[in-house]
Structure 1
Amino acid sequence: MGSPFAALPGAVMADGSAAPAHYGAPLREQALLDAGEALVHAADRAVVEVAGEDRLTWLDSITSQALGALEPGRSTELLVLDPHGHIEHAASVVDDGERAWLIVDADGADALVAWLRRMVFRSRVSVGRRDDLAVVGYARSESPAARAVLEHGAPVATWRDPWDAVSAGGHQYAVMVPHPGAGREWHEAIVTEDGLAALAASGIAAAGLLAAEALRIAAWRPRRANEVDARTLPHELDWLRTAVHLNKGCYRGQETVAKVHNLGHPPRRLVFLHLDGSDTVLPGPGAVVTADGAEIGRITSSALHHEDGPIALAVVKRSLAVDASLQVLTDDGPVAASQQEIVPRDAGAAASVPRLPRLSSRARG
């Protein structure tokens, strides 16, 4: 689907995307987007429709989230894990009483649909990607952008990001108070092609994809397309907050989720980086992070934030010291970085396991 937002004045297209990266003033666009005075065509997101009377209990049985009793209009998210607990897919979820709508990163939508269809078996469920629908993102429930979406976009469904709090059955490793995500009131509305065109013509301010990414990174919000690789466990990204229900029934990968959370530690951890912006070099995803000359991780997302300056998320070794001096390697030379913990080094091992007396102690008794 082409984007009518691409025809707006100043639009600069993102590589490989149908929607603009920005409109000439990305920092101003961030401020407007954060205030609820602008919206973004999230062309990097896709819509998957799950219909059928068994849809919620079926999704509950094969994913990390408790969905069997999901109420219409309530938003949540899920992960699909492999048998070893590694993340394969992630989806935002809202049900309208007849269909469950999954909003996913576009580059993984087809693979997710294919996997879901293989899991149907005898359940009364149908799954399909809806390329005739688009996603627009905006902040704040009571805002000019929210009103524009309702008036001009006529949304099919709207998902509200649960990242501003720990969901029922979830667990947070981050200890910072308040959590940077506490103020994130983010929405993604599913609209038709006509609704998307009407929004582009409505006069509401438009922000580019770069603005939405900067706000996500500042909130420490993980994303499958950026933070996940073949080895990623949910614990490493603090994604137990909103995407994993620790008290639900069995699903693929649950044993690893429980074992790491209760008895072990995630082998890697997500950190937030403040980058030295003195030479205007912004390291991109994949850039190597070093400590004392040794590679300890890689940048997963980076942005120039309208208040915080150059920022990034990175996945690093669990053993990395909190006060380590870090550098990020770029083609233009190293960039200094300071680390802020998201997932602490001691995350996990949450179970209270009774200490058994030593054999020699029992023998002496």
Structure 2
Amino acid sequence: MTETYRSPLLQREGAVEAGGVDTGVAAHYGAPTREARRLFDGEAIADLTHFDILEISGADRQSWLDTLSTQRISTLKPSDSTQTLLLSIQGRVEHEMKVLVQPERLLLILEPGAAAPLQEFLNSMRFMLRVEVADLSATHGVLAATRPIPSAGDAVWTDPWPGVSEGGWAYSREDHPGTERPWLLHVVELENTIQAVADEQLAGMMAVEALRIAAWEPRFGAEIDDKTIPHELDWLRTSVHLNKGCYKGQETIARVHNIGHPPRRIVFLDLDGSLHTLPAPGSELKLGERTVGRVTSVALHFEAGPIALGVVKRNVDPESVLSVVDGESIYPASQEIIVAPDAGQVAGRFTGFLRTPPTA
């Protein structure tokens, strides 16, 4: 998507444009918490047409992406959905892709602005394989909802979160709050956007983010920094196949999962609402005078009130109340564990990357 993109749905009455990475679509249409309630209940659609789309075609498309990424792609069937990552040699997250399998192509749904660098990398890895990578971002976008949108067509990616995909591993509890929020992304032609939502209520990005944070789902454009490894965000659930090799960064995936601990962990934060404002993403998280992490995403939820996701050092006491420091404002924040401090060191389960069990 280009930097100058503006959704035609910003013409809707009450639309207020979002900022930052979500510039070009609505933050809300006049009532963000009510919009979040409607979105949760399946009574509204969210405009994510600023998201980027890549198309991979050619006979080798699935086996090729399989060899590059963390997820098993080669065995997927038409209409299957998955999520996968590209990592650095050190196992750090460089790209995140929501993959929709169609009969003659793969569609990759990406964060705004992610298509160009990813396309450049993928083209550099084509060699003699029968694959073509095309950027559809100028002509296609995404509409999101918690239920199918018949008028949006049948190119629908179904979020695997918070299920545990084949070959995956959960670092958080079984009664995951994300099960309350199904999430469907419909790939549409931009010229058909207004028609696709003609008779629908709309919800802005503030509603989308409130539901995502409450579902504990990380976002590439928010929870990621240049040191992030998948374990820290519980992304082994949906984005990593532990029994699959042959991709850059696999040694870190195996080592941390089997014999180590992720150095940081994502955490859900219940914020004190007495200030009647929200801290900015990027605000420091402090335990006493010590900085132990940062806030990554913040929202006002229609039931839970002010909530956030943050990334903290692994050994921070989960029972402690943290302070979110945003300029002169300080927000007490209680933690709810997503990734446990003792995540990793999976005794007795070796994924094939380790040939022998670790010695004491």
TM-score (norm 2): 0.93
Deviation at 1:219, TM superposition (A): 0.4
Matching of residue 133 in structure 1 with residue 143 in structure 2: no
Q: Of 109, 119, 122, which aligns to 1:116? A: 122
Matching of residue 102 in structure 1 with residue 108 in structure 2: yes
Q: Partner of 1:179 in structure 2?
A: 176
Q: Of 163, 166, 169, which aligns to 1:165? A: 163
Answer yes or no: is the 8 Å Cα contact 1:53–1:124 preserved in 2: yes
Q: Which amino acid aligns with 2:175?
A: P
Counterpart CA distance in 2 for 1:135 and 1:105 is 11
Answer yes or no: is the 8 Å Cα contact 1:281–1:335 preserved in 2: no
Q: Partner of 1:363 in structure 2?
A: none
Q: Of 19, 28, 31, which aligns to 1:15? A: 19
Matching of residue 193 in structure 1 with residue 199 in structure 2: no
Q: Of 228, 232, 244, which aligns to 2:228? A: 232
- Going from structure 1 to structure 2, the CA distance change for 1:187 and 1:67 (only over 3 Å counts) comes to same
Deviation at 1:301, TM superposition (A): 0.5
Counterpart CA distance in 2 for 1:69 and 1:139 is 27
Matching of residue 6 in structure 1 with residue 24 in structure 2: no
Q: What do you get for the CA RMSD once the two structures are aligned?
A: 1.4
Counterpart CA distance in 2 for 1:109 and 1:324 is 40
Q: Deviations over 1:76-104 (max 9, x none)?
A: 01000001100000010011110000001
Deviation at 1:107, TM superposition (A): 2.5
Give the secondary-structure state (helix, strand or coil) at the position aligned to 1:60.
Answer: helix
Deviation at 1:2, TM superposition (A): 3.2
Matching of residue 242 in structure 1 with residue 238 in structure 2: yes
Deviation at 1:294, TM superposition (A): 0.5
Q: Of 272, 284, 288, which aligns to 2:284? A: 288
Q: Partner of 2:46 in structure 1?
A: 40
Counterpart CA distance in 1 for 2:162 and 2:229 is 21
Answer yes or no: is the 8 Å Cα contact 1:107–1:225 preserved in 2: no
Higher mean C-alpha displacement, 19-28 vs 105-114? 105-114
- Going from structure 1 to structure 2, the CA distance change for 1:356 and 1:96 (only over 3 Å counts) comes to closer
TM-score (norm 1): 0.92
Q: Deviations over 1:180-228 (max 9, x none)?
A: 111221000000123212024x120000011011100100001111011
More helix by share: 1
Q: Which amino acid aligns with 2:160?
A: P
Structure 1: gaps (5+ residues): 141-145, 358-365
Counterpart CA distance in 2 for 1:193 and 1:235 is 35
Answer yes or no: is the 8 Å Cα contact 2:153–2:186 preserved in 1: no
Q: Of 337, 341, 345, which aligns to 1:341? A: 337
Answer yes or no: is the 8 Å Cα contact 2:259–2:358 preserved in 1: no
Matching of residue 65 in structure 1 with residue 100 in structure 2: no
Q: Partner of 2:353 in structure 1?
A: none
Counterpart CA distance in 1 for 2:104 and 2:302 is 41
Deviation at 1:281, TM superposition (A): 2.2
- Going from structure 1 to structure 2, the CA distance change for 1:129 and 1:83 (only over 3 Å counts) comes to same
Answer yes or no: is the 8 Å Cα contact 1:164–1:184 preserved in 2: no
Q: Which amino acid aligns with 1:245?
A: H
Answer yes or no: is the 8 Å Cα contact 1:154–1:195 preserved in 2: no
Answer yes or no: is the 8 Å Cα contact 1:275–1:336 preserved in 2: yes
Counterpart CA distance in 2 for 1:127 and 1:225 is 22
Q: Partner of 2:150 in structure 1?
A: 150
| Pair member with larger Rg | 1
Give the secondary-structure state (helix, strand or coil) at the position aligned to 1:5.
Answer: helix
Answer yes or no: is the 8 Å Cα contact 1:164–1:185 preserved in 2: no
Q: Which amino acid aligns with 1:348?
A: G
Q: Count how many residue pairs are aligned between Structure 1 and Structure 2.
A: 346
Deviation at 1:154, TM superposition (A): 2.8
Q: Which amino acid aligns with 1:154?
A: G
Give the secondary-structure state (helix, strand or coil) at the position aligned to 2:145.
Answer: strand
Deviation at 1:43, TM superposition (A): 3.3
Deviation at 1:331, TM superposition (A): 2.2
Matching of residue 315 in structure 1 with residue 308 in structure 2: no
Q: Which amino acid aligns with 2:111?
A: D
- Going from structure 1 to structure 2, the CA distance change for 1:9 and 1:345 (only over 3 Å counts) comes to same
- Going from structure 1 to structure 2, the CA distance change for 1:68 and 1:278 (only over 3 Å counts) comes to same
Q: Partner of 2:270 in structure 1?
A: 274
Q: Partner of 1:252 in structure 2?
A: 248
Deviation at 1:354, TM superposition (A): 6.4
Q: Percent identity?
A: 45
Give the secondary-structure state (helix, strand or coil) at the position aligned to 1:271.
Answer: strand
Q: Which amino acid aligns with 1:136?
A: L
Q: Which amino acid aligns with 2:200?
A: I
Structure 2: gaps (5+ residues): 349-355
Answer yes or no: is the 8 Å Cα contact 1:134–1:192 preserved in 2: yes
Deviation at 1:128, TM superposition (A): 1.7
Counterpart CA distance in 1 for 2:312 and 2:122 is 31
